[in-house]
A and B are shown apart, each in its own frame.
Chain A
Amino acid sequence: MVSSFQSGALSKLMKGGAIWGFIVLQLIFFSVAGEYLALTDTAFMDYENMLLLLKQSAPIGIIAMGMTIVMVNGNIDLSVGATFAIAAIILLDAMTWPIFAGLGDWVIPVAWLLALAVGTILGALNGFIVWKTGVDAFIVTLGAMLGYRGIVFMFNGENPTSHLNWTLVDFAEAQFLGLHTATWFLLGVTIVMWFVMTRTVHGRNAYAVGDNREAAVNAGIRVGPHMMINFAIIGFLAALSAVVFYSETGSVNPNDGQLYELWVITAVVLGGTKITGGAGNVIGTLGGVIAIQLLRKGLGHIGADTSTVNLVIGCILIAVLFLDRQLNVKGKEALKV
Chain B
Amino acid sequence: MTDMPEHTGASGEGTMTEASGLTKQQVASLLAKNGILIAFALFIIVFTLANARFLSPDNVFSVVRSSAILGVMALGVTFVVVSGNLDLSVGSMMSFSTIVVLDLHDKIGPALAIPAMFAMTLCLGAIIGFLVGYLKLNSLIVTLGMLSAIHGLTLTYSGGKNMDIADKEGTWFSIFGQGEVAGIPVPILIFIALAALLGVVLSRTPFGRKVYAVGGNGTAATFSGIPRARTVFYCYLISAVCVATAGLIQASRSLGSQNTVGQGLELEVLAAVILGGASLLGGSGTIFKTVIGVLILGFIQNGLLLMGLQFYVQFVVTFVIIILAVWLDIAAKRGKLLSPIA
Contacts and interface: CB of A to CB of B under 8 A. Distances in A.
B189 interface: no
A159 interface: no
20 contacts: A133-B338, A142-B322, A146-B318, A150-B319, A217-B341, A262-B148, A266-B148, A275-B141, A307-B160, A310-B149, A310-B155, A311-B149, A312-B152, A314-B145, A314-B148, A317-B144, A317-B145, A318-B131, A322-B131, A322-B137
A325 B136 contact: yes
Given A139-B322, A145-B267, A318-B131, A154 B274 contact: no
Nearest to B154: A307
Given A148-B319, A318-B131, 4 more contacts: A146-B271, A150-B315, A153-B310, A321-B137
Contacts of A223: 341-342
B330 A224 contact: no
A135 B326 contact: yes
Interface in A304-337: 305-318, 321-322, 325, 336-337
B323 interface: yes
Contacts of A313: 145, 148-149, 152
Interface centre among A135, A223, A317 (most CB of B within 10 A): A135
Nearest to A136: B280
Chain B residues touching A, majority SS: helix
A135 B323 contact: yes
Chain A residues touching B, majority SS: helix
B137 A325 contact: yes
Interface of B: 131, 135-138, 140-142, 144-156, 160, 218-219, 222-223, 228, 263-264, 267-268, 270-271, 274, 280, 310-320, 322-323, 326-327, 330-331, 334, 338-342
Interface residues of A, number: 54
Given A129-B323, A134-B339, A308-B152, A266 B312 contact: no
Contact of A224 (B311, B326, B342): B342
B16 to A, nearest CB: 24
Contact of B312 (A133, A149, A309, A314): A149
Contacts of B219: 337
